[in-house]
Amino acid sequence: MAEAHAPLLSLRGLTRRFGGLTAVDSIDLDLAKGGLVSIIGPNGAGKTTLFNLVTGLDRPDAGEVRFEGQDITGLSPERLAAQAIARTFQLGRVFGNLSVMDNVLIGAHTRLRAVKPAVPIIGPLLELGLALLRPSSVKAEEERLREEVKTILARFGERLLPRIDQPAYSLSYANRRRVEIARALALKPRLLLLDEPTAGMNPSETAEMQGLVAELKAEGLTILLIEHKLEMVMRLSDRVIVMDEGQKIAEGPGEQVRNDPKVIEAYLGHGLSGTAEQESAA
Amino acid sequence: MSSWLDYTINGLIVGNVYALVAVGLALIFGVSRLINFAQGSIYLVGAYIGWVAVVQLHTPLPLTIIFVAVVAALVGLIIERFGLRPLQNSVRIAPLLATIGISFVLDQLVMLTFSPNPRALPSQLPDVRFQVGGGTIGPLDLLIAGVGISSALLLFVFLRYSKLGWAVRAASQDRDAAMQMGVDVNRVNQAVFGIAAALGGVSGLLVGMYYNQIDTAMSLQATLKGVVAEVVGGAGNVPGAVVGSLLLGLVESYGVAVFGTSYRNLFAFLLLVVVLVLRPNGLFASARQAPPEPLTGTFIAPSRPVRIPRWALLVAVAVFAILPLLPVSFYVLQTLINAWLLGMLALSLTLVAGTIGQVSLGHAALLAIGAYTSALLSLTLSVPVGLAIIAGGLMSAALGTILISPSFRLRGHYVSIATLAIGEIVSLVILNWESVTRGPIGISGIPPLSLFGYDLIDPKSVYWFSFTVMVVLALLQARLLSSHLGRSFRAIRDDDIAARAYGLSLNRYKSLAFIFGGFAAGVSGGIAAHLYSYINHETFNTQQSILALTVVILGGLGNVVGAVVGAVALVGLPEVFRIAAEYRILIYGIVLLLLVRFRPQGLLGTI
């Protein structure tokens, strides 16, 4: 039975140490297909490091990562992107000199047919040849993707579409964040990791983002979310995991976690519970 | 046995000298995350100031050392204040380019003041030798060792116990935090540049005395050796730089013992490449570092490129195409032919340095590979010249990419070091591989350009040939940039971590960029070989690499039209103003500095 309902993503004993500090301390996590699990915790709890371990930007010292039952521990980010795992970054890593269109097209990179052949030497040379000769199939593919990018950008209303040809460095922080999410969606991800998608956004922008994430979830996308805004976390999550000093200190439905004494202590110690209260009151 | 002891002692002494340069580099890197390519120029200045002191002012040795240290420190302070401090909030590439520019300006000033001919710098110590084991050491050896050890000790005490030393260490750990805690980072930078320059100047003096000869070529060699030692020890790591220097001295010394003197530098650069590949953070870095922080700002200056309408480009191409039919002098055609050849190199470099962000300082090596391949194929195998040039381009693409591939894992300044070293390796291999390259004699009697059996000898046909090739290469490159590869290259340049997270393999796309760029550079070298009819290992040198870099920055990084415009400007304008050849490099250096400071996006904007 467990195999029939094998989770899409499962982490077992995932650990990462930096010198004397254990940033991620034997974390277990299961994320079912179509589910949304949120990771919360004070700053420095190890949330982003956990994301880096899952997406291959960093390698764990112990433990394993399984995606659809396959061991993907320590695979390179390129390989994981090809497996349709997409992520956004906490500090916003758009390609500054690329237009919004090009930024999002990079998201579709792994889907390009010219990129597919993984044969050494011949594969890249073929890719170069296709890029220079540009047969009609390549042109058609590019056209199709450009249309698709416009559809993705339309999900953000009038935020990005009018700026489609502007370089990303000229965008506001909130818009850069949106470009990151659009780029991730262009990958057609099977698993999406969102690292604080609403950081630096005002309440109405946050509500907009919350609506979008809810939409994505309703469409069946599997999402792992790091977020500080508890209101959003409570509304969206199937399950919440609380991390503090690298360890998982609580896990369960939102309401249950919120009243857990250990969670309250962790947040009080870092002075964040006040913010959480204010936000849920707002 | 005894000779091995000799080589060991010699290695340690030379290593001690490298340490004086490397420690300065490590201090600067520690505080500013900058590899100071001008360090070798300060070393050169030190050597010549020493010459002035010893030969003209007849100062006693202790006074000579103090004099050199003070003047060199002043030069260091000037570099910091006027060359680098204005660039503090600039794009990441700017300080790197600035130190390259400063280095060329200083070297040329020394050359213009003292002439490029070597000078003797007499040692001011008695010429006695002490027997040690089977070998001998002289007082100068002891002095060098003494200066090396005592300056390392002084530096240790300064960093450890003085207040400014604390500030330097704080700033090198976390610049922003140090600033918040009230550390005056500008003062720290001044102190670091002053100390680094004083050490560099004194080491120039000592090396000059050691070999009893100084010349202007010392500068680049010193920068290279210092950088090798520093990177081997771990960039920014002061004790590591000392150990790296001693190791470098020993490796070179043993290499010379086994293979001969002409292999000295080859060993130094091979050591660098091996360390960069196996342990890019140096021998003494912990095995795994925390993943790098997201970088703020962009690598190149953000700008909106100037849009040139298609008709204007067509008109320009048409004008240059019919130019030979107009009554223009041979001299104008000759100048423009040089511009087209440089344009091809600039196209190659603007793709590699601008579009994918790998600032190559060894690009002339690609010219050399293309030139030698084409020359040797047409001379020894009688391959038709047209085919030989294409073969030169292909060889440059293949060999260049293979040689550069160890640097694909590196970032920013490290790429520049690696490409500089690889460029030197190519030139050393050409010098030493006599059975194929004819070594120092060079290749003469290379057949002239020809196409389908017709020789292209008169300037008009050479002009048309080189212009056509350049236009075709430019069109191909523009087509490449408008494809998915263009945006993939630029994405890798802007943020390689985000690019990898979206499936872009750095090896694959950097290889493709170097293959495409290598072809253009190789073709340029091939045409040049048939045009010059004689080439040797010095025909394509670092100065050309720097000239190409200046062209590319002048035009706008990654900008295809900009590369051609830059080439015409930098080849043409000195001719228009009849600037003497020896001043040209100086002017290129100054142009580079002014551009970095006032118009980092170049004339037509970065793409």
Minimal Cα–Cα distance from A97 to chain B, Å? 6
Q: What residue ranges in A5-162 does DSSP mark as E strands?
A: 9-18, 21-31, 36-40, 62-67, 70-71, 85-87
Q: What is the pLDDT of residue A259?
A: 86
- Say whether B116 sits in a helix, a strand or coil: coil
Q: What is the pLDDT of residue B285?
A: 65
A131: which chain B residues are within 8 Å (Cβ-Cβ)? 479-480, 483-485
- A280 and A229 housed in the same domain: yes
A114: which chain B residues are within 8 Å (Cβ-Cβ)? 484
Residue A92 lies in a domain: no
Nearest residue of B to residue A132, measured between CA atoms: B480
Angle between helices B93-114 and B581-598 (to 10 degrees): 150
Minimal Cα–Cα distance from A210 to chain B, Å? 24
- A169 and A29 housed in the same domain: no
Question: Are the C-beta atoms of residues B238 and B30 closer than 8 Å to each other?
Answer: yes
Tens of pLDDT along B19-47?
888 888 888 887 777 888 899 999 999 99
CATH number of B2-278: 1.10.3470
Is B454 in CB contact (< 8 Å) with chain A? no
A89: which chain B residues are within 8 Å (Cβ-Cβ)? 294, 498, 501
Q: B401, B476, B502, B515: best mutation site toward chain A, by most A Cβ within 10 Å?
A: B502
Give the residue with greater pLDDT, A242 vs A118: A242
B298: which chain A residues are within 8 Å (Cβ-Cβ)? 96-97, 169
- A206 and A75 housed in the same domain: yes
- Say whether A199 sits in a helix, a strand or coil: coil
Nearest CA among B439, B31, B13 for reference residue B248: B13
Tens of pLDDT along A170-185?
999 899 999 999 999 9
Q: What is the pLDDT of residue B296?
A: 40
- A198 and A281 housed in the same domain: yes
Which backbone phi and psi does A205 adopt, to 5 degrees? -65, -40
Q: What is the pLDDT of residue A15?
A: 95
Partners of B136 in the β-ladder: B131
Which band of pLDDT confidence, cut at 50, 70 and 90, is reported for residue A88? very high
Residue A117 lies in a domain: yes
Question: Are the C-beta atoms of residues A86 and A189 closer than 8 Å to each other?
Answer: yes
Look-up of token digits 């795994």: B288
Nearest CA among A244, A279, A237, A213 for reference residue A50: A244
Averaged confidence pLDDT in chain B:
87
Q: Which of B484, B495, B505 has the CB atom closest to A95's CB atom? A: B495
Q: Which of A134, A169, A188 is the last residue of a domain?
A: A188
Upper half-sphere CA count for residue B566 (Cβ side, 13 Å): 35
Residue A214 lies in a domain: yes
Which backbone phi and psi does B412 adopt, to 5 degrees? 45, -120
Domain count, chain A: 2
Q: Where are the domains of chain B?
A: 2-278, 310-320+332-598
Rounded to an integer, what distance in angstroms lies between the CA atom of residue A98 and that of residue A111?
Answer: 19
Domain of residue A60 covers 1-84+193-282
Q: Which of A102-116, A266-280, B381-395 has the lowest mean pLDDT?
A: A266-280
Nearest CA among B509, B541, B224 for reference residue B366: B541
Q: Which of A242-251, B295-304, B376-385, B391-400 has the lowest mean pLDDT?
A: B295-304
Q: What is the pLDDT of residue B292?
A: 44
B508: which chain A residues are within 8 Å (Cβ-Cβ)? 123-124, 127
Q: Would strands A21-31 and A9-18 be described as parallel, antiparallel, or unpaired?
A: antiparallel
Q: What is the pLDDT of residue B151?
A: 80
- Quick one: tokens of A8? 């899409």
Residue A144 lies in a domain: yes
CATH of the domain at A237: 3.40.50.300
Q: What is the pLDDT of residue A35?
A: 95
Partners of A225 in the β-ladder: A38, A194
Rounded to an integer, what distance in angstroms lies between the CA atom of residue B509 and that of residue B486?
Answer: 10
Nearest residue of A to residue B297, measured between CA atoms: A96
Look-up of token digits 């090009």: A102
Rounded to an integer, what distance in angstroms lies between the CA atom of residue B17 and that of residue B205?
Answer: 10
- Say whether B89 sits in a helix, a strand or coil: coil
Q: What is the mean pLDDT of residues B383-399?
A: 96
Rounded to an integer, what distance in angstroms lies between the CA atom of residue B49 and that of residue B198?
Answer: 12
- A165 and A207 housed in the same domain: no
- A168 and A113 housed in the same domain: yes
Which band of pLDDT confidence, cut at 50, 70 and 90, is reported for residue A269? low
**If you write DSSP's letter for every residue of A246-275 in order, what string do you get?**
TEEEEEESHHHHHT-HHHHHHHHHTT-HHH
Q: Which of A94, A107, A131 has the CB atom closest to B483's CB atom? A: A131
Q: Which of A171, A188, A205 is the last residue of a domain?
A: A188
Q: B484, B511, B607: best mutation site toward chain A, by most A Cβ within 10 Å?
A: B484
Minimal Cα–Cα distance from B287 to chain A, Å? 11
Res. A110: pLDDT tops 90: yes
Nearest CA among B361, B346, B319 for reference residue B603: B346
Q: A78, A144, A166: best mutation site toward chain B, by most B Cβ within 10 Å?
A: A78
Q: pTM of the full predicted structure?
A: 0.89
- A181 and A216 housed in the same domain: no
Q: Which of A133, A155, A188 is the last residue of a domain?
A: A188
Residue A124 lies in a domain: yes
- A282 and A197 housed in the same domain: yes
Nearest residue of A to residue B491, measured between CA atoms: A95
Question: Are the C-beta atoms of residues B372 and B535 closer than 8 Å to each other?
Answer: yes
Q: Which of A196-210, B159-173, B305-319 has the lowest mean pLDDT?
A: B159-173
- A78 and A197 housed in the same domain: yes
Which band of pLDDT confidence, cut at 50, 70 and 90, is reported for residue B189? confident
Rounded to an integer, what distance in angstroms lies between the CA atom of residue A129 and that of residue A16?
Answer: 42
Res. B267: pLDDT tops 90: no
Q: Do A52 and B291 touch (CB under 8 A)?
A: yes
Residue A119 lies in a domain: yes
Rounded to an integer, what distance in angstroms lies between the CA atom of residue B266 and that of residue B314?
Answer: 47
A105: which chain B residues are within 8 Å (Cβ-Cβ)? 484, 487
Q: What is the mean pLDDT of residues B405-430?
A: 84
Chain-centre distance of CA B362, in angstroms? 6
Tens of pLDDT along B202-249?
989 988 888 888 988 888 888 888 888 888 888 777 788 888 999 999
Look-up of token digits 């040379």: A125
Q: What is the pLDDT of residue B286?
A: 52
- Quick one: tokens of B47? 């050597």
Q: Which of B286, B298, B476 has the CB atom closest to A169's CB atom? A: B298
Residue A57 lies in a domain: yes
DSSP-H helix ranges across B298-384: 310-322, 330-349, 364-380
Residue A239 lies in a domain: yes
Q: What is the pLDDT of residue A3?
A: 45
